[in-house]
Amino acid sequence: MKVKVNTLTFSLFEGARVRNALLRYFAKKKLDKELIDDIVVHDDYDHELDHDAPLSDGQHIAFEEPHPLNH
């Protein structure tokens, strides 16, 4: 199934959860996967989604991408 995460579209397995989509997105963008737990994800209707929520084909989810801390 295809799921759009922010502006990127990914092919995911049937039964994938929000966390699976986030992992794919973070890997593609080379972001620190440890930041995933702090991400607040929303659907097209601006409903907050739990990271264990199931996804469906054609779904679009969005979140504010974390910015790396400058040390």
Model confidence pLDDT, tens digit, residues 15-47: 999 999 999 999 999 999 999 999 999 999 999
- The answer to whether 11 and 1 are in contact (CB under 8 A) is yes
Confidence grade of residue 71 (pLDDT, cut at 50, 70, 90)? very low
State the pLDDT at residue 66: 78
Q: What percent of the chain has pLDDT over 90?
A: 90
In the chain the beta strands, taken as DSSP E runs, fall at: 2-5, 8-11, 41-42, 48-49, 60-61
The answer on pLDDT for 14 being more than 70 is: yes
State the pLDDT at residue 13: 97
Whole-model pTM: value is 0.90
